[in-house]
């Protein structure tokens, strides 16, 4: 009987902790809708890959950093924020993407869909 009570309480605590984590961090609670927090900014932005041969996604916003993965031409990507990095074709902006891995893509090859991403 005691083991059943302890198990039930532990299960309730895990559920409560998961709910708290999902509401406390915007990165964990990604949403496709354009409504943001109190400042009314979107949490996640969207873009379309324009690089004909696909876009190399990297572990930092530089051309020499390690390639994590690639996104194909015309793929829709979810952008968390933007930062200044190494220039690619005269454009110093890089977007941090949230599609499975936190990778950086050169903004030169991503067209915004909707609002421009916020700064990191």
Query: For position 37, which CATH number holds?
Result: 2.30.30.40
CA atoms in the 13 A half-sphere facing the CB of 98: 17
Q: 47 with 105, same domain?
A: yes
Torsion of CA 69, 114, 62, 31, to 10 degrees: -50
Print pLDDT tens along the chain (120 aa). 444 433 334 333 333 333 333 333 344 334 444 445 555 655 789 999 999 999 999 999 999 999 999 999 999 999 999 999 999 999 999 999 998 789 999 999 999 999 999 999
Please tell me the distance from the alpha carbon of residue 103 to that of residue 58, in angstroms, as a whole number.
Answer: 5
Q: 73 with 83, same domain?
A: yes
Which two structure tokens, joined as six digits, stand for 7?
């198990």
Look at the chain and report how many structural domains it folds into. 2
Q: 60 with 112, same domain?
A: yes
**11: containing domain:** 1-30
Q: What is the value of pTM for the model shown?
A: 0.66
Which two structure tokens, joined as six digits, stand for 86?
């190494």
* Strand-strand pairing, 103-106 and 91-97: antiparallel
Q: 25 with 38, same domain?
A: no
């Amino acid at each position: 009987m005691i083991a059943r009570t302890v198990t039930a309480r532990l299960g309730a605590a895990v559920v409560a902790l998961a709910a708290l984590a999902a509401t406390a961090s915007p990165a964990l609670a990604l949403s496709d809708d354009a409504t943001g927090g109190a400042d009314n900014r979107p949490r996640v932005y969207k873009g379309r890959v324009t690089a004909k041969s696909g876009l190399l996604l990297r572990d930092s916003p530089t051309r020499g950093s390690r390639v994590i993965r690639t996104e194909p031409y015309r793929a829709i990507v979810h952008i968390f924020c933007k930062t200044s990095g190494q220039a690619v074709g005269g454009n110093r902006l890089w977007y941090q993407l949230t599609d499975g891995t936190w990778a950086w893509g050169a903004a030169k090859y991503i067209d915004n869909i909707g609002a421009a991403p916020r700064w990191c």
